[in-house]
Amino acid sequence: YPHLLALISQGPFGPAPFVSPASPGHQTPVKASGLTMATVDRFYSRFSPSPLSIKQFLDFGRENACEKTSYMFLRKELAVRLANTMREVNLLPDNLLCQPSVKLVQKWYMQSFLELLEYENRAAEDPRNLNDFLDVLIDIRNRHNDVVPTMAQGVIEYKEQFGFDPFISSNIQYFLDRFYTSRISFRMLINQHSALTETDIAHSRKPRYLCALHVPDPGDMVLHIAALLFGNNTNPAHPKHIGSIDPACNMAEVVTDAYETAKMLCEQYYERAPELHIEEFNAKAPNKPIQVVYVPSHLFHMLFELFKNSMRATVELYANSSEDLPPVQALVTLGKEDLSIKISDRGGGVPLRKIDRLFNYMYSTAPSPSLKPSRAAPLAGFGYGLPISRLYARYFQGDLVLYSMEGVGTDAVIYLKALSSESFERLPVFNKSAWRHYQTGPEADDWSSPSREPRDASTYKANS
């Protein structure tokens, strides 16, 4: 696999585009035991992450994959991605950094970075190093399970203490989009290095992609690591999967699974739920099911969030009506470049001015939920469902867009790349442009805004 071998030969990967004014010149990394934040600043954070395509993930994960090559790639690539994130965290406002939840997340990231550095110079030829490295990756993944809700709690703590500031909110929005995207990529690499085995599936009615619903992350499904991808073991639940990637992901099946899961919760708490009408249009192979190479857990997460929102809006709009609930419509289409999934409801819609707020982490109106699982408010939470779902869509060069008509309903469209060779990771890079974003103050609006007391135009006459 030349693309991985070439990356490994570069050492820490990619160009070193930026050193902030406060950073000294290049230095050789020190041992983990002597790590300081300067090590992150001066070495690993100077390098850009190396984005991989789904096709590269898939090619490398097949039967002739090399465990040593993966080890050599990950021990540096994961450190680079962590370092870029850790460096950017320090550019957040001091009042946010001092929040207990944010400090806890920083502690997790530093600990994980330290553990990765322990393997910087360990030989790939020693099987014990490979086995120990896998154990470390599992520990890191488990440690980071609650990063999303914990960071969300930190934002809530900050907002309760200091209120809302448009400039600070803009920086937090910018950071969290990048922070959570980096986390998605981090878990993707770890999951691809290992084989996931579902537990208790045979004794459960839960759909195959059902995740722990109290944590908005498809990587936190009821799963555990069983064996290396490179061994002879296979995933008994999904024997054709390559790690978390399905080479022939059936879109209609994932749509149905996500709907059934959302319906189960909706009926549990509202005692009824709208039905699903699903339609497929395959422009590449008419009359055949739509199947592409994709990560079904990512897609499940996006669809579950959209179905959950559609069902809640529909049921609450018709709460006092004896009429049958209008169904939720799902349209799956496949063209030469794009795979699109549209979820449509008749739940009353959202005003145009509120659409952007639905993707804003600071605008959430949901009550602060517990970080522990509970039976309370299953269809609400931190208000992060839509922004996180959009990040999953954008992670492999797709998108998630909302079109709403107030008084009628909402159409949500997921856009994905039809070709796995074009589905490259979209990764944040800590460089001069990113640094400048946190330093630049808000600029004056260069468009007109309505005055509080509109003038009476009839009193202003042109001079003759």
234-245 per-position pLDDT tens digit: 454 566 788 899
Q: How many CB atoms lie within 10 A of CB 78?
A: 25
- Determine which of 81-95, 123-137, 315-329, 379-393 has the lowest per-residue pLDDT on average: 379-393
Cα radius of gyration (the chain): 24
Q: Are 1 and 192 in contact (CB under 8 A)?
A: no
The CATH-assigned architecture of domain 240-427 is 2-Layer Sandwich (3.30)
Q: What is d(CA 374, CA 203) in angstroms, rounded to the nearest whole number? A: 22
Torsion of CA 100, 106, 107, 109, to 10 degrees: 150
Residue type, 52: L
Closest CA to 426 of 48, 110, 59: 48
Q: Which two tokens stand for residue 351?
A: 């005003």
Start-end of CATH 3.30.565.10 domains in the chain = 240-427
Going by C-beta distance under 8 Å and a sequence separation of 6 or more, which residues neighbour residue 345?
274, 310, 311, 313, 314, 326, 328, 329, 409, 410
Q: What is d(CA 417, CA 289) in angstroms, rounded to the nearest whole number? A: 17
Q: Is the pTM of this model over 0.75?
A: yes
Cα 395 to the center of its chain, rounded Å: 7
Could you tell me which residues are beta bridge partners of residue 330? 278, 343
For residue 363, what are the CA distances in angstroms to 163, 225, 308, 377, 426? 11, 37, 19, 18, 25
pLDDT of residue 12: 41
164-187 per-position pLDDT tens digit: 888 889 999 999 999 999 999 999
Q: What is d(CA 134, CA 136) in angstroms, rounded to the nearest whole number? A: 5
Q: Which two tokens stand for residue 347?
A: 């739940």
Which one of 323-337, 349-363, 440-454 scores highest in mean pLDDT? 323-337
For residue 421, what are the CA distances in angstroms to 55, 73, 233, 293? 5, 20, 27, 10
Start-end of CATH 1.20.140.20 domains in the chain = 1-192
The CATH-assigned architecture of domain 1-192 is Up-down Bundle (1.20)
Residue type, 441: G
Q: What is d(CA 375, CA 226) in angstroms, rounded to the nearest whole number? A: 30
For residue 400, what are the CA distances in angstroms to 82, 395, 396, 408? 26, 11, 12, 20
The helix or strand, by DSSP H or E, that contains position 414, with its residue range, turns out to be strand 409-417
Residue type, 350: V
Residue type, 125: E
Could you tell me which residues are beta bridge partners of residue 249? 292
φ and ψ of 119, to 5 deg: -105, 10
Q: Which two tokens stand for residue 282?
A: 């395959």
Per-residue pLDDT band for 43 (boundaries 50, 70, 90) equals confident
Has residue 382 got a pLDDT over 60?
Answer: yes
Handedness of CA 93, 98, 102, 106 (dihedral sign): positive
Has residue 421 got a pLDDT over 50?
Answer: yes
Has residue 299 got a pLDDT over 60?
Answer: yes
Give the percent of the chain with pLDDT over 70.
73
Q: Which two tokens stand for residue 11?
A: 């050492």
Query: Which positions are annotated as active-site residues?
Result: 301, 305, 308-309
Q: What is d(CA 231, CA 423) in angstroms, rounded to the nearest whole number? A: 27
Has residue 31 got a pLDDT over 50?
Answer: no
Has residue 125 got a pLDDT over 80?
Answer: yes
Cα 30 to the center of its chain, rounded Å: 32
